[in-house]
Amino acid sequence: MKFWFAVCLTFLVSISAWADSDPKAVVGPLKIARDTFYTDVSKFNEGQLSEEELVVRISEQFAPLINDRVIALRVMGRFARQATDAETDRFTDRLEMSLVDAYARGLAAYGGEQLVLPDEGVILKPGRAMVDARLEAPGREPLPIQFAMGFAEARGWMVENVVISGINLGLTLRNQFADLVKSSGSVSGAIDSWTFESVGAN
């Protein structure tokens, strides 16, 4: 599951100020990032990039593409109300680092799957959209992917959640955070316990 989530998230790019209600604009950045990723993989396969260099390049693409603050608050769930501003900032940083590390390394094991994107996303309301896509590989059933996208004025369209074959990955991470709060006894303890393995366990 970690690998599929990695593939999905890394394709999401929205560094341009796309219109917040244009359905084609939602998908445009995904296609750009997909092609960029395929180019990097080709260079890796041809020996122009080492595995570590490929991981670094994936990380550099991925880090700016997620709305880390929104995702962090959703992962914290009801515990976000208990957290101080400093704790929320700390968890946002830790979550971003763990996601980047887990999924960049997962993507280094890419095996030729193809991300098939629609021509348009579905605008739910200005600034909110869904993109229904699928991952295809020879000899396998297509894997349905649903991207939840949010629009930020300064950064354009960014990923806020991913659902893979009906499995809500944001909810999965939220449950993991709640378990850490329970086992550690506090929100601060859960934040301290959040690591690469917290995400890599998916």
Q: Domain-by-domain residue ranges, the chain?
A: 2-200
Give the CA angle between residues 117, 15, 152 to the nearest 5°.
95
pTM for this prediction: 0.78
CATH number of 2-200: 3.10.450.710
Short-list 32, 29, 30, 56, CA closest to 43: 56
CA-to-CA distance for 50 and 63, rounded, in angstroms? 20
Amino acid identity, position 74: R
User: Any residues with CB less than 8 A from the CB of 64 and at least 6 apart, and which?
Assistant: 15, 155
Q: How far apart are CA 115 and CA 143, in angstroms?
A: 9
Q: One-letter amino acid identity for 197?
A: E
List the pLDDT tens digit at each of the 202 positions of the chain: 555 555 555 554 443 444 688 899 888 777 877 788 888 888 988 999 888 888 788 777 776 677 889 999 999 999 999 999 999 999 999 998 888 777 666 666 667 788 899 999 999 999 999 999 998 888 888 989 898 999 988 788 888 888 888 889 889 899 999 999 999 999 999 999 998 666 655 5
Residue 179 main-chain phi, psi, to 5 deg: -65, -40
Minimal CA–CA distance to 95: which of 80, 107, 82? 80
